[in-house]
Amino acid sequence: MEALALERKAEQNRELKERIAQLKKERNAIILAHYYQRDEIQEVADFRGDSFLLAQKAASTDADVIVFCGVHFMGESAKILAPNKTVLIPDERAGCPMADMVNVDGLRALKKKHPNAKVVAYINTSADVKSETDICCTSANAIKVIEAVDSDEIIWVPDKNLGDYVSKFTDKKMIIWEGYCNTHDMLTVKDVEEMKAQYPNAQFVVHPECRPEVVKMGDFVGSTTAIIKYCRESDCQEFIVGTEDGTGYQLRLDSPNKKFHFATKYLVCPNMKVNNLKKVVKCLETNGPQIYVPPHVADKARASLERMLQVK
């Protein structure tokens, strides 16, 4: 019975993938998928990547339509960088709790308290918040961005864990907002200790959105893209992975002979996982839901994102 259900599911996915390919051609569309998406979504994507890579692709694509399989702030970033494109998100409920932890009023109040500080916003923020910042960054380029900013005082929003990690690589004063990623913040020292005991030959690779005490345990610390690159190039054959479980798709694709154990079963972002093939088909057929960013917000936010893209 289970085998039959799996067979039906595989056939349904095959038909959906064929329909997606047809619609992409008709609409001159591309699909951008974050590494945390379901495997089936990553399989049909034209580009898979972290927030930084996907922002670059959105800014440079010749497509008329961008289907952004990620969460809402990512779709906003794509629309800001490609204002003349139609940007679709398969499920507009795909939000980011961390992005919701910082708001414009709170940020403005903090800026008044520290008038000489420059604001660096993690890309995991709304367009409204980006419009109040000097420059954006991702976990992949955060340290470079901090060092590139012409100020010795930095307001950092919204992830306190990533902010703590970055602060160790700069002499600048960091004023850190108290936000966090619900998924990464779940990982505990106990979880990692148990996995290390179970897999003593494995290296622990960890995302800096995790708690500082967990990050300290890492054999390698880096963004999702950096983790994938490290695991691909490392001589080690077994890894304990401290980031969202969707990353497993690219890890296994790059290194099919290596073993990957996720540090806890709770490393799943429910917001990333709301997208599926049916919803991709529907958004291409109906031309919605569309991402909209008011022009006055987009203009200010675009400057912040473009400054990030210029940092080498």
Cβ(63)–Cβ(23) under 8 Å?
no
209 is in an annotated binding site: yes
Residue 224, marked binder: yes
Amino acid at 303: A
120, 156 in Cβ contact below 8 A? yes
* 207 assigned to a ligand binding site: yes
Token pair for 158 = 């919204």
Q: Which residues, other chains included, contact 285 with Cβ-Cβ below 8 Å and sequence gap of 6+?
A: 23
| Alpha carbon distance 17, 81 (integer Å) | 28
The per-residue pLDDT string of the chain (312 residues; one tens digit each, 9 = 90 and over) reads 677 777 888 888 899 999 999 999 999 999 999 999 999 999 999 999 988 789 889 889 999 999 999 999 999 999 999 999 999 999 999 999 999 999 999 999 999 999 999 999 999 999 999 999 999 999 989 999 999 999 999 999 999 999 999 999 999 999 999 999 999 999 999 999 999 999 999 999 999 999 999 999 999 999 999 999 999 999 999 999 999 999 999 999 999 999 999 999 999 999 999 999 999 999 999 999 999 999 999 999 999 999 998 997
Residue 292 annotated as part of some ligand binding site: no
Is 167 one of the annotated binding-site residues? no
Q: What is the DSSP letter of 102?
A: -
Instruction: Name the pTM for this structure.
Output: 0.94
Is 137 assigned a ligand-binding role in the annotation? no
210 vs 218: CA distance, rounded Å: 10
Whole-angstrom distance, CA of residue 166 vs CA of residue 243: 17
Between the alpha carbon of residue 215 and those of residues 6, 45, 220, 242, the distances in Å are: 38, 31, 9, 9
- 34 labeled part of a ligand binding site: yes
- Contact, 208 vs 32, CB < 8 A? no
What gap in Å lies between CA 96 and CA 84, rounded to an integer?
25
- The values of phi and psi at residue 250, to 5°, are -70, -35
Are 117 and 154 spatial neighbours (Cβ–Cβ below 8 Å)?
A: yes
Known binding residue 181? Answer is: yes
Are 70 and 33 spatial neighbours (Cβ–Cβ below 8 Å)? yes
- Do the annotations mark residue 51 as ligand-binding? yes
Helix (H, G, I), strand (E, B) or coil at 176: strand
124 annotated as a binding-site residue: yes
- Backbone torsions φ then ψ of 132, nearest 5 degrees: -100, 5
Beta strands in 131-222 (DSSP E): 135-137, 153-157, 173-176, 203-206, 220-221
Orientation angle between helical segments 277-286 and 2-27, nearest 10 degrees: 30
- Count of other CB atoms within 10 angstroms of residue 1: 5
What whole-number distance in Å separates Cα of residue 159 and Cα of residue 168? 15
Confirm whether residue 269 is marked as ligand binding.
yes
Confirm or deny that 283 is annotated as ligand binding: no
In this prediction, residue 1 carries a pLDDT of: 62
For the chain, list the domains and their CATH numbers.
2-95+272-286 (3.40.50.10800), 99-180 (3.40.50.10800), 184-262 (3.40.50.10800)
Quick one: tokens of 305?
């994102």
Residues whose CB is less than 8 angstroms from the CB of residue 307 and which lie 6 or more positions away in sequence, other chains included: 134, 135, 136
Is 212 flagged in the annotation as binding? no
Please give the DSSP secondary-structure letter assigned to residue 169.
T
Residues 277 and 44: beta-carbon distance below 8 Å:
yes
